[in-house]
A and B are shown apart, each in its own frame.
Chain A
Amino acid sequence: MIRFSWLQFRAQAVAALGALAIVAVALAVTGPHLNHLYDTSGVATCHARGDCASVATTFLNQVPADQILYYLGIAVLLAAPPVIGMFWGAPLVTRELETGTVRLAWTQGVTRTRWLAVKVAVTGLAAMVTAGLLSLMLTWWSGPVDTAAALKTGYSISFIRIGPVLFGARDIMPVGYAAFAFALGVTAGVLIRRTVPAIAATLVVFAAVAIAWPLLIRPLLIAPVHAIVALTPASISTSLAAGPGGSEIVMPVASAVPPGSWVLSTRTLDSTGHAFNAATVPACQGSSPSQALACQATLGRLHLRDLISYQPASSFWPLQWYETAIFLGLAALLAGLCLWRIRRQAS
């Protein structure tokens, strides 16, 4: 059955191998130059000199073409698991149901449970290997840009490795996502029994899980770190310049949290520990420069504090392991559900 599953999967495997080869060539051509620029830019040693933001910006400005490839790489890695789920997972059983070949397959000398188990194992393993190789190549290639972008953009969450965008597109996480999306596709196919609706269901459910997960589940796995930062007249001045009149006074958190952290929330508290609202301070209602100065002076006397909740960069690897394991576990559960269902299901 393993050999036959492989025979059936051959065409898709060749297509996947082709896609991987194209990515590999593109990255092999551009990667060494990118690494060379990074090594000479001084980004790696910027902490000692304290000029990280400027050298990172200089480095990134040197590689505009590579930035396009960088964004493409993120897109490819984020899209690979749902695409695998939709086009390898969902049709795995439904195509055979729709063309009637289950009547051929299920009357060979192999029970249908074994038939499905082997098909899921062979194709699922291929899905994980594909996603793993893709992630391995892109994580290596993107390393310099990841590092520089995190330094440059400060508290923008987009290009922090532990942030919601990059986390699923780096290191081992794509393997977990691919296994889960594939099993989700197979399950949708086994339950819905028609290819197109199963593909749609796979996409919707996977997208919902992938979007909700970082916000709802990740904080439960490793609790975010809280930092309390007292607001001084000087720090308020910077934040007012960024956005006066807001109900929260956001100070540049890059200076308050370790670099590479994903800031989840910032709340401003007054001296009694309650949420502070700038609208209640009469001095802060105007918008002229002189009024802004008066507001800043008033706020400086209120002993305000910012409560910052963030996920530090050091949680990256523990979270990668936890979440990959969880998604692999979910994939195994779904595969078990499919096997249980197919045993009871008529053709």
Chain B
Amino acid sequence: MRGFVALFRREFRDARWHLAASFVVAAAAPWAVHAWMTAGADDEVVAKIGGRGVVPILFALFVASAASDLVARDVATRRIDALAVLPVPISTVWNAKALFLLASSLAMLVWLVAAEFAALAFGVSGKAAAWLPSMLVAAGPSIAGGLALGAASLFFSTLVDRGMTAALGAVALIVGIAWGVHWAEVPATAGLVTLVAAYAVPLGLAAAFALASRTSFVRGPIHGPSKPRLALAGLVTLLGIVLPGGGVVAFGMERAAHLDPADGDPSRREAYVSPDGKWLAVEDGVRGPGSRSRTWLFGLGDDSCREIAPGNTWFAGGGAWTPGSMLLVRTSSFSVVSGPRHVRQLEVEPKGLGVADSTWIPAETVESGPPGWAWVRTEQTLGPGRRVYAITSLGTFGSMRYTGRQVQPGHRSDTVFVVSESRVLSRITRGSPRDERTNELARDVDAVLQVSADDRHLLLDGDSDVRVLDATTGAVRFDATRERAKWTEDGSRVLLWDEDASHSVTRFAVHDLDAATTIDLGAPLVRDRLPRVSVLRDRRLVVCDGDVTLRAADGKVIRRLFPPPAAGEKGN
């Protein structure tokens, strides 16, 4: 043990000036970055740059530079012979070097975090500093990546005699591996498995490179004359760990993302009919720690069933289809280049399932759906029945403010529906920023306002009744008591349902405004969510109430579409 301590102290003495310089730079760098590069930015952005940029990058630079010289310097100067002649196994020499690298790296990490916190707290603002912990948590895999870079640098330091060459080799190899993982497109879910992989991959690489370095050092041996033997010993170890380890991770992630058609959670299932009525897109998935989802496409004409894209896929919040009947499906694969999950939106033509377009979507924004022409950005309560709504719109109108009980922008036209403090429902149409016309539609409105998808009707869902008004004239098109209501997905029907005391759906129906008929669809299969009903052009219905069924215009089931009968039977 005393010998090990002596070796450790020797490493410390050897690197003390490098350590001193690194700690000074680490203390100054956050101040410089925030003074010159992030000045004037939001607190959150500043903290993000600090926590997810400055800290991991400086950490990786330090570990790589410290590791690059750790062995190479001793070999280049032949000091390694003086270490090899010591009466301890040569592995002890390596262990002391590795422990020194680990200890100095951890010390540097603590120092960097403290320096960043100080720079934010005293150089930017207390709020920015308060953001830092969450940013550091998000930067965890990147920091682990720094360790992988350091270990790779240590490995190259064992093989070559020059520290700079070792560091450059490590950077090249780690970048290559990162892009290799990215291009492999291993399916990644938003669940625990991806989070574990995000840490396991860089830490596993760090362990593999460290063990490869150790094997080269000990079995090479480093003080021997055979460089090929040295390199071979390390490479065999490296490949012996990385290849099966990577395979296990990829297989585990693939399995974690796998979902048979019958295995999804019925309450998570969604079905979307294409605008041309030819296709049905189904999203099936599982929530919770093992969260995953898959998408299938059914031909309503030929009963075909195909998986839309491999891996973990789901539809965007705004629906599965573009107005031109192209599928919009999102897929996520594992990546250490753009965060644990690389999310892409694929535009897929339904006939051959060819990908017409592929767009990367930053993972943090994937859950927000596409906005309409305008949306409520903020709302603030001033008093009873008096709220201020700030609305942001696309196009020329910019930001607008309305005061009232409710404000609801239309979906397509430049229209806003407002329920005033005095419960008057008005339609406000904007021709230009200065041209605003107001039509009063109804009085004594005390219900939740919903605009139909085509902006033609307004649904008022009150405590004791449901009304549908013409959105232009205010004429009542439908009136019912005791039921709850919302628009169907295509906006052509009113979905009505009853709830019991525990808010479970007991029955549901659709009302056709044009035909003035209500079709009772009975009790849904899954009661803790609202069924989804779409109407085909031939007036048949596609109902997703856990299972997805094709129904006749009178509501009778024609056949079950999803799960496909064979899969459903297997699942049962």
Tell me, yes or no, whether A binds B. no
Using CB atoms and an 8 Å cutoff, list the residues of chain B in contact with chain A.
none
